[in-house]
Structure 1
Amino acid sequence: MPFKIFVDGQEGTTGLRIFEYLSERADIEVLRIDEAARKDPAARRELINASDVTFLCLPDTASRESVGLVDNDRTCVIDASTAFRIDPDWAYGLPELARGQRERVRDSKRIAVPGCHASALVLSVRPLVDAGLVAPEYAVSAYSLTGYSGGGKKMIADYEAGVIPALTSPRPYALGLTHKHLPEMRHHGGLAREPIFTPIVGNFLKGLSVTTYWHPEQFAKQATPADVHACLTEHYANERFVRVMPLDDAANLDNGFFDVQGCNDTNRVDLFVFGNAERIVTIARLDNLGKGAAGAAVQCMNLHLGVDEATGLNV
C-alpha cells in the first residue's frame, strides 16, 4: 500500500516543488484537493486526517490553523513555515544537526522544516560549538547570498519579467536585523544570542551560500583553519547530504570566485573553510529550494516513514 501524502498549500513555491519530488514515486499516493476547496477547513480536515503525512506549505498563522485540524494520533505533520522551529514539542527537521536528531525526526509526528538561511548557518556553527572551539557567547556575524526563488511567486514573477532595472544588481535586505530565521539560528546553533545576519538576493533563480566570519583569537581554545575543517569533517563523516570540501583545494574556487549555485538540483550541503591564522570564514552552500526547503521536507518524510532517506532526492 502506498503512503498517503497531502500538501496543504500546494500552489506555493515549496508545495509545487514537493509535488515534483513525489510525482515519480510509486510508493506515494498524493491526495489532491479541488482548487475551489483549498481554503475550505472541512475539505482540508478530511484530507489531512486521511494522510500518513501532511506537508504544510503555508504562512505561520495558516500553519497553526491546519495543525488544529488534526484529530488523530497517526498523521505526521511536516511544516515548512517558521511557526514551530523552536517549539520544544516539534522536531527540528535537520537530521544532521547533532547526535540523536535523526532519531527524533524519525519518531516525531510534528516536524518543523528549517529555514534555508538557518540550515546553512546552523550546519556551519553547531559542530564548532559542540566541540568547544566556539563558546555559545561568541558574537556570530554572517551574510547570505541567495537566488530570488526564496522570495516566493511574486518575487519570481518580478525578476523573470525583466522590467525592473534595480533587480539586475544584488540587493541586501532585512537590514533591520530582525530576519525571521534568527531565532532558530540562535537556538539550534547552540548560541547565547542571535547572530548579526544580512541576506542578499541576486539575479539568479536558486542557490544559496551563507558565509560566517570567525576570529581565531576569540575562540574558546586555539584553532587554525585546519582545526575548524577537522571539526566539521568529523561531525559530518557519515552524512550523505553534507560534504566537507577539501581544505586549500583549488577546485573549491573558479579562478578565485565562489560558485553559489554549485549544489543546485541536489539535496546536498557543501561546507568550505577558508582563511589563515588571523581570520577564518566558513561557507555553507545549498539549493534553497532543495535542502533549503522542499528537499529537506521530503528527506524528513522519508526518515519518518522508514524508507531510505535519499529516496527521490539527488545527492
Structure 2
Amino acid sequence: MTYKVFVDGQEGTTGLRIHEYLAARGDIEVLRIDADKRKDAAERSRLLNAADVAFLCLPDVASREAAFMVNNSNTCLIDASTAHRTTPGWAFGLPELDRGQRTKIRGAKRIANPGCHASAFILAVRPLVDAGLLSPDALISATSITGYSGGGKSMIAQYEAASEPKLTSPRPYALGLTHKHLPEMMAHTGLKNAPVFMPIVGNFYKGLAVTVPLHLSQLRAGARPEDVQQALAAHYEGERFVRVLPLRDPATLEEGAFDVQACNDTNRVDLAVFGNDQQILLMARLDNLGKGASGAAVQAMNVHLGVDEGLGL
C-alpha cells in the first residue's frame, strides 16, 4: 500500500530531514507544494486534506492554524511544534513512553512530536517515577547541551558564518526559566514541579545530552545506583531505539568523558547512570535532528500506519 504524505514547512530543518527519511521509501508518495504557493492557504489546505499523514514543521501559531485547515477524518497530523504536546486529544509521539503508548499513537489522528530536550529528559526520568524510585513531588534540576542545529536555519547560519567570537564558547540560554519544553517534561514524567532546567548550545552542529544530577537521598529509601540502572533496563527491555548502558559505563569512563554526539545519524537514545554511594548522574543522549525531531516524527508515523517501526530510519 502507498501512503500520501505532505510536509507543511518542508524548507525548515525538520522538514528537510523528514524528506530525506522518506526519499527511499517505496510505500510513500510525497505531496509537494510549489515554492510560490508555500504561503497559499488554499493550496496548503488542499494538500493537507489530500494526505494520509501530514507533518507540521511550523511555528506554534502556524501549526494551530494548519490543524484547523484539516476538515476530513482521514488525515493524521504529526505536529513537530510545541503547540499540542500537552493538548487533550493529541497523542504524545514517544512510543517508548510506556507500554500503552503505541496503541494511543496507532489510533490517533493527532500526534504531537516531542521536543529534543524533552525526549531525552522524559526517557531518563519517567522510568524512575513509574518504578517508585523518584517521587512525583521531587525537586530536581537538569542540564542539556545541544548542537546549534536545534536553533533552526537562522542559528545554523549564524554559527556557520563564524563571525562572532562568543559563538566559540558554550552558551547557556532560556535564563528566564520558562523554556518551552518544560510543560511536556512535567506532563509526561508525572513530575508535579518543573525541573530547574538549563539548556546550553555548543559550537557543534548536532547531538544532545541531558544530565539529571540526583542525591540518593532524593530517591526511595535505600535506593542505589544499581536500582536506577535496573529500572531503566526493565522499562526499555526490547526497545530497538533505546540503549541502556552498563552502570558506570566502562567505555565512557575509559574515554574520560561522555560523548554528546555518539548517537548522531541514528534514531537511538543512550541512557547512562554514573554514581557512588551518595550521588548519581542520570544521562541521556540523542541526535537532536533524529530521535529529537525528524526521526521521532517518522517513527510515530510508522507506528500509526502499522508498518515496521524502523522503516526508513
Matched, 1:61 2:43: no
Question: Take 2:183 and 2:264, find their aligned partners in 1: how far apart are those partners?
Answer: 26
1:147 paired with 2:147, answer yes
The correspondence of residues 151-162 of structure 1 with structure 2, limited to 5 A, is 151-162=151-162
What TM-score results when the alignment is normalised by the length of structure 2? Answer: 0.99
1-side partners of 2:118 and 2:254: how far apart?
26
Cross-structure match for 1:232: 232
Corresponding position of 2:31 = 31
d(CA) in 1 for partners of 2:82 and 2:254?
35
Q: Which residue of 2 aligns with 1:97?
A: 97
* Conserved 8 A contact 2:149-2:205: yes
Aligned equivalents of 2:82 and 2:253: distance in 1?
Answer: 33
Specify the alignment match of 1:44 in structure 2. 44
Match of 1:130 in 2: 130
| Whole-angstrom CA distance in 1 between matches of 2:171 and 2:192 | 29
Report the AA paired with residue 135 of structure 1: S
Question: What letter corresponds to residue 113 of structure 1 in structure 2?
Answer: N
Matched, 1:171 2:147: no
In the other structure, the counterpart of 2:19 is 19
Q: Write the distance in 1 (CA, Å) between the matches of 2:261 and 2:92.
A: 25
Give the aligned partner of residue 261 of structure 1.
261
Question: Given that residues 146 and 209 in structure 2 are in contact (C-alpha distance below 8 angstroms), is that contact kept between their aligned partners in structure 1?
Answer: yes
Taking the aligned partners of 1:50 and 1:218, their CA distance within structure 2 comes to 51
What is the total number of aligned residue pairs between the two structures? 313
Contact 2:147–2:203 (CA under 8 A) maintained in structure 1: yes
* DSSP-derived class of the 1:312 partner: coil
User: Is the CA contact (8 Å cut-off) linking 2:249 and 2:274 kept in structure 1?
Assistant: no
SS in 2 for 1:7: strand
**Which segment is superposed worse, 94-103 or 108-117?**
94-103
Structure 1 stretches of 4+ with a deviation exceeding 6 A read: none
- Distance, in Å, in 1 between the alignment partners of 2:13 and 2:221 is 43
Checking the alignment, whether the CA contact within 8 Å between 2:82 and 2:181 is kept in structure 1 is: yes
Q: Give the aligned partner of residue 288 of structure 2.
A: 288
Percent sequence identity is: 67
Q: What is the distance in 1 between the residues matched to 2:272 and 2:161?
A: 34
Q: Return 252-261 or 226-235, whichever deviates more.
A: 252-261
Paired residues of 2:264 and 2:286 also in contact (CA < 8 A):
yes
Aligned amino acid, residue 23 of structure 2: S
Q: After superposition, give the CA deviation of every residue in 1:251-304 in whole Å (9 maximum; x if it has no partner).
A: 124531110000000000000000111111110000000000000000000111
Matched residues in 2 for 1:239 and 1:157: separation?
A: 36
RMSD: 0.8
* 8 Å contact kept, 1:4–1:28: yes
CA contact (8 A) 1:147 1:205 kept: yes
- Contact 2:57–2:79 at 8 Å: present in 1 too? yes
Question: 2:271 is paired with a residue of what secondary structure?
Answer: strand
Give the SS at the match of 1:204. coil
Distance in 1 (alpha carbons) for counterparts of 2:121 and 2:227:
18
How far does residue 219 in structure 1 lie from its aligned partner after superposition?
Answer: 1.3
Q: How many angstroms apart in 1 are the aligned matches of 2:96 and 2:140? A: 21
Could you give the per-residue CA deviations for residues 161-198 of structure 1, whole angstroms, max 9, x where no partner exists?
A: 11111101110000111100000001101100111000
Query: Distance in 2 between the 1:155 and 1:274 partners?
Result: 33
Instruction: Indicate the residue corresponding to 1:220 in structure 2.
Output: 220
Contact 2:248 2:275 in 1 (8 A): no
